[in-house]
Copies of this chain bind each other. A is one copy, B any other.
């Protein structure tokens, strides 16, 4: 089944590459990568080995890139923004390591997950270590409010994960509940990343408001697109296991919208099919569910919702002064929306 057929417009727009979008912060991204590579240099040998392996596939660096773009847009030049950006990335990484244990994921960023490489026990402790050390390291920054923002958002992310887990296989989940979950588990860190940069650069209240709003909408766009990619993405480009949401009973927007459009009888049938992912996963085919989404038009509807969030993100960024960094922030929205990984 071709991915393009499902969402006709999906791949017609070719967003800029991240490298191009991040070109105004090229130097800072390089400094960040260097910082991440040596992040665990003073840790115990066994931790250093694990950290290096995890940091060797650093992902797209969207969150630290966002922090650096915002800081630069606000004219903030001091070095500590690199350290803060790295902290955001390490917290994100810790959260992914723990997520992958829960989902029993085998690939992430196109490579073996920590849980596959080191087993669940080491991965659990490595995630703990990265969470705690990143928060601890942030205390050496200028102001303890930065650490406060970091602990609050890390707590919020975990709350989102717990809420999501407690709603597994709840096919009555509403769109509203879905947004509550993704705001915590994903959009919170994008919002907080913008907030951290504003705090560092002592942004004016007006800019701060726009940037926090931009962060939240960008995060929502990111997660909705992520939910689509889990269904229609190509595992080789996403670098992640496919259909993990269906298999784990995570009720995401495409499924909520598909179920909404069914008759009570159809709904009953499909719910019983979806339930099977829990008890008899071999008995049910993800592609049958995908066909249902195609038929009901829920994939297009979901993409439209992501587009709306992207529009809102651009609108928020539009309130800012016109700089090369703002241009990158605008381009980043399209990258997040149209990405295939």
**Residues of A at under 8 Å CB distance from B?**
43-44, 46-47, 98, 101-102, 120-122, 124-129, 131-133, 135-136, 139, 144, 147-148, 151-152, 154-155, 158-159, 161-163, 165-166
Q: Are the CB atoms of A144 and B139 closer together than 8 Å? A: yes
User: Cβ of A121: which chain B residues have Cβ within 8 Å of it?
Assistant: 102, 165
Contact indicator A133/B162 (Cβ below 8 Å): no
Which of B129, B139, B147 meets A162, CB within 8 Å? B129
Copy total for this chain: 2
Given contacts A132-B154, A132-B158, 7 further A-B contacts (CB under 8 A): A98-B128, A102-B121, A125-B161, A128-B128, A129-B158, A133-B155, A136-B151
Instruction: Check if B132 sits within 8 Å of A131, measured CB to CB.
Output: yes
A145 nearest in chain B by CB position: B139
- Rounded to whole Å, the gap between the CB of A324 and the closest CB of chain B is 36
- Kindly list chain B residues whose C-beta atoms are within 8 Å of the C-beta of A46: 162-163, 166
Which of B47, B101, B155 interacts with A159 by CB under 8 Å?
A: B47
CA distance A121 to B155 in the complex (A): 16
Collect the chain B residues with CB atoms within 8 Å of residue A158's CB: 125, 128-129, 132
Please report the C-alpha to C-alpha distance between residue A131 and residue B133 in the assembled complex, in whole angstroms.
Answer: 12
A-B residue pairs in contact (CB < 8 Å), sample of 16: A43-B159, A44-B163, A46-B163, A102-B121, A122-B165, A122-B166, A125-B158, A125-B165, A126-B162, A128-B131, A131-B132, A132-B135, A132-B154, A139-B144, A139-B147, A144-B144
